[in-house]
């Protein structure tokens, strides 16, 4: 489902020091509040109302070494879709804001992460040009309270609003929980590498001079 721009009402970001962002997005369907620090220690406080999503976002923060706080109140009496997508929208917006002009960043990152029988690869480019290639076939329709198809929707909204190029590929795997967790951990590691500051440069890592 495409994001609902006409309903979007993200408040003006609060000024914060460092590579951080504080955002709130409130619609008729959800109310999402988020804090992100790209230079954190992996501290996560996540409450979306969707337990497995909380688990995945905690893994993302832990392995990217981001500090991440998310509180979402959504219309879960309908289904988790609005909450999952809107959390991804706000996380993407916050990620893009926290990066600023992207001066000195490594820009590219990739990671292979195993979890028992599962092996997933994620590759990212913080290019400013959103794109998602998702080749992850989950063998179950639902993991906990999270429909498996919403994982792709989450990553698409995050890539669109974070303005990044993201390729996710399942190399092998049998267990849906293992595959999804390896996916988020691989994404975390790739993002952590891409946002890291390159000690050799303080410029924007692009021949165009802007990302």
List the CATH number of the domain containing 63: 3.30.230.40
Is 124 a domain residue?
yes
pLDDT value of residue 17: 59
Domain count, the chain: 1
pTM: 0.91
Is 208 within the bounds of a domain?
no
Q: What are phi and psi of 129, to 5 degrees?
A: -115, 105
pLDDT, tens digit (0-9, with 9 covering 90-100), for 16-44: 458 999 999 999 999 999 999 999 999 99
Instruction: Give the domain range for residue 76.
Output: 5-195
Q: Is residue 209 part of a domain?
A: no
11 within some domain: yes
Per the domain annotation, does 186 fall within a domain? Answer: yes
CB neighbours of 22 closer than 8 A, spacing ≥ 6?
13, 14, 16, 34, 35, 36, 94
Q: How confident is the model at residue 72 (pLDDT cuts 50, 70, 90)?
A: very high
Q: How far apart are CA 99 and CA 128, in angstroms?
A: 11
Residue 177 lies in a domain: yes
With respect to residue 211, please indicate whether it lies within any of the assigned structural domains. Answer: no
42 falls within a domain: yes
Are the CB atoms for 112 and 121 separated by under 8 Å?
A: yes
pLDDT category of residue 129 using cuts at 50, 70 and 90: very high
């Amino acid at each position: 489902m495409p994001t609902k721009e006409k309903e979007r009402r993200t408040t003006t970001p609060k000024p914060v020091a460092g590579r951080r962002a504080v955002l709130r997005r409130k619609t008729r369907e959800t109310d999402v509040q988020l804090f992100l620090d790209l230079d954190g220690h992996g501290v996560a406080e996540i409450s979306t109302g969707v337990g497995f999503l909380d688990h995945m976002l905690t893994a993302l923060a832990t392995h990217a070494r981001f500090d991440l706080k998310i509180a979402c109140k959504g219309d879960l009496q309908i289904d988790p879709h609005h909450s999952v997508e809107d959390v991804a929208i706000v996380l993407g917006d916050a990620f893009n804001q926290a990066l600023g002009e992207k001066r000195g960043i490594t820009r590219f990152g990739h990671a292979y992460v195993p979890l028992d029988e599962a092996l997933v690869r994620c590759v990212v480019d913080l290019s400013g040009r959103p794109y998602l290639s998702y080749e992850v076939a989950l063998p179950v329709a639902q993991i906990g309270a999270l429909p498996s198809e919403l994982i792709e929707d989450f990553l698409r909204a995050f890539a669109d609003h974070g303005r990044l190029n993201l390729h996710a590929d399942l190399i092998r795997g049998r267990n849906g929980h293992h595959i999804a967790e390896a996916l988020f951990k691989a994404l975390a590691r790739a993002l952590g590498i891409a946002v890291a500051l390159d000690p050799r440069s303080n410029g924007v890592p692009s021949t165009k001079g802007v990302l």
